[in-house]
């Protein structure tokens, strides 16, 4: 076997071993760190009701549309949904890769280019906003009671995720890729990557408002284990 070919095969072997090692360490860390609980703040009121909601992969933070602390409908307007129905009481927000959101309605539609860009932070991000009339608690939807002060922190965290135009308004994405008649997309700040996913964003939202959460997680499973009844 020529010396050059030997060197090439050795290099390929090292690269393959390195890739396998990275994958094993990545998922081991993801599992272990998501099982470490950051506890809820002590001595807090239960004045505002929020929810966490998952579709089995992606975690949303759900808040009342209207309150005396914020009226989300002023920036996330009902008019930007297909139904334009103003009768919804709850707003679910989730951050994620813009390519995933707009180009991957089903997992079967996932393209390698979209997944590659998302994994390595090469594309932009978006906020998905979905309105609900009511929510029912189950394994995929958990209610959390927080104080007004904590809700103020959550509002600030969420608002900072939206990209804003020169006038300070949220930037609606005009698209036909909506998931239903009561949702819309908005431009967002930040880069999605292997270490910062939609669930990392939701976990950080809970951490910012003093609620029980994971030390770090890329999956929804770790978050919902904290609220398992």
Q: What is the mean pLDDT of residues 54-76?
A: 97
Q: Does 187 have pLDDT greater than 60?
A: yes
Q: Does 63 have pLDDT greater than 90?
A: yes
Q: Which residues touch 109 (CB under 8 Å, ≥6 apart)?
A: 103
Q: Does 220 have pLDDT greater than 80?
A: yes
- Tokens representing 17 are 């071993």
Q: What is the mean pLDDT of residues 152-165?
A: 98
pLDDT confidence of residue 115? 73
Q: CA–CA distance from 82 to each of 75, 87, 102, 117, 205 (Å)?
A: 16, 13, 16, 29, 28
pLDDT confidence of residue 14? 60
Q: Which residues touch 181 (CB under 8 Å, ≥6 apart)?
A: 81, 82, 83, 85
pLDDT confidence of residue 151? 98
Helix (H, G, I), strand (E, B) or coil at 159: helix
- Residues 82-129 pLDDT 10s: 999 999 999 999 999 999 888 876 666 667 677 777 777 778 999 999
6: confidence class by pLDDT, cuts 50, 70, 90? low
Question: How far is 207 from 153, CA to CA, in rounded Å?
Answer: 10
């Amino acid at each position: 076997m020529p010396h050059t070919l030997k060197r090439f095969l050795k290099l390929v072997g090292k690269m393959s071993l390195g890739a396998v090692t990275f994958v094993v360490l990545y998922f081991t860390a993801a599992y272990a760190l998501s099982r470490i609980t950051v506890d809820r703040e002590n001595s807090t009121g239960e004045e505002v009701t929020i929810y966490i909601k998952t579709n089995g992969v992606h975690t949303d933070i759900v808040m009342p549309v209207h309150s005396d602390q914020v009226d989300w409908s002023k920036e996330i307007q009902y008019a930007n949904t297909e139904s334009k129905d103003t009768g919804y009481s709850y707003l679910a927000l989730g951050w994620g890769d813009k390519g995933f959101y707009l180009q991957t309605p089903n997992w079967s539609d996932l393209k390698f280019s979209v997944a590659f860009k998302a994994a390595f932070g090469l594309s932009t991000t978006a906020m998905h906003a979905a309105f609900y009339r009511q929510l029912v608690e189950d394994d995929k939807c958990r209610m959390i009671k927080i104080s007004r002060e904590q809700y103020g922190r959550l509002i600030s965290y969420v608002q900072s995720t939206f990209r804003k135009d020169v006038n300070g308004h949220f930037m609606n994405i005009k698209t036909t890729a909506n998931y239903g008649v009561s949702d819309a997309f908005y431009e967002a700040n930040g880069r999605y990557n292997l270490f910062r996913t939609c669930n990392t964003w939701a976990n950080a939202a809970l951490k910012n408002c003093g609620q029980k959460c994971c030390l770090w997680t890329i999956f929804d499973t770790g978050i919902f284990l904290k609220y398992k009844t």
